[in-house]
Structure 1
Amino acid sequence: MNTTVARLTVRGLLGRRRALILLAVPVLLLAVSLAARSSGNDKHDLAVSVLGQLGLGTLVPILGLIVGTGVIAHEIDDGSIVYLLAKPLPRWKITTTKLAVAVGASWVFAALPMLVAGLIIYGTKDNLALGYTVGAMAAGAAYSALFLLLGVVTRHAVVAGLGYALVWESLVGNYVKGAKTLSIQQWGLSVAEAVAADGVLTATVALGLALALLVGVASIATILASAKLAGLTLTSDE
């Protein structure tokens, strides 16, 4: 990890407009959690709906898209990436540093608010809040790597990522049984189930398979992004 690259990446990621978008995700989740707590409905069902469907199913992938593409896509689009590529740094180190920033941002703006929202709705009972938090951390890391790759390989990363996050993860991955095995959300849910007390959560993907797929997707996406970055030439057209 290169501290200079990390500092510049954080500065670019937390620009005024993008910072407001990042803050909107936890604010929305916490607002919904407070409203759900006062609704008087079953707390377990509320927690599963808010943390599982809204949080892990929608807000975590969207935030992963924002930070994953945000750490590199704008530099490629405006051509400023050439100044970074001109430095005597291995391309893999640039990629992994930017990924570390993206993962850290996803944990701060998604996983941590998941914990707070879970405590608001359900407290510490059955490790439900902790389970969803750890699940969001695992899924957030995979989303960050996947969307970082999209940011490197296409200028339409946000559009492609939104299609994946909203169509595949939020719709297909939730309701089509066979597709659940290929859903990062479902892999994160498997991790959440393992952390929570027995019988509190139900996942369709076995924990061992989920962990292997999470690590595999993150690793392959990082390797491919590094390889693509290594192929970029130092011209303003890039």
Structure 2
Amino acid sequence: MPAFLAERDAEARELMDDPRCDVRTLERTYRRFALVNAVVSGQRALYRRWLRPRLRRSRPLRLLDVGTGGADLPRRLLRWAEREGLAMTVLGIDPDERAIGFARRHPAPGLELRAVATGALRADGERFDAVVSNHVLHHLGDDEVAAVLDDSAALLAPGGVAVHGDIERSRLAYAAFAAVTWPLQAGPLRDTFIRRDGLTSIRRSRTASEAAALAPAGWRVHRAFPSRLELVRETP
């Protein structure tokens, strides 16, 4: 039997992905994501490294957030750009109507939300200056990841960048998340799916070599902190 976490557990399922899960718990989970993602998702690094150099005052950068969930990432990116006097608009998409319904109840200037997948945008001929996602790829099977990456490349405008950030599976990541979230169960993470689903997410996530094996030509895998991977593609 392989050592724990030596192989990806593609059969593990997150509670929030269950269409029958408790809606109130799901919405509390969306609300708490803003706190958790601020710590573990490298959002500031995403903004500084990949988006900030492309932002201008005169022309809005058009960004696509794939699998937006409760849309905490686009709201944060829009705030950072606004504080610097830079222009950005964001389309957040998620095929889960529950996520889009929650996000629409928390609007932000410059944020549009649609319950669609990347393939629909590609079919419509949409183009974006940046395509991003946060902790989405581990939810998907290998064929689905390949399709999202292919769509992302097709959706990029000239000079654009796609950055799909996800967890890198490791025993250290699992142990650290388990330890940090244990005392929070009775506080900020109470009555949410975050701790259990977070541990499941690590089991479902890929290593750098596994991600590289899935990435089509033109994509590269970039390691980030803490225990994160970024699949990156830039267009000339």
Q: Which has the higher strand share?
A: 2
TM-score (norm 2): 0.24
TM-score (norm 1): 0.24
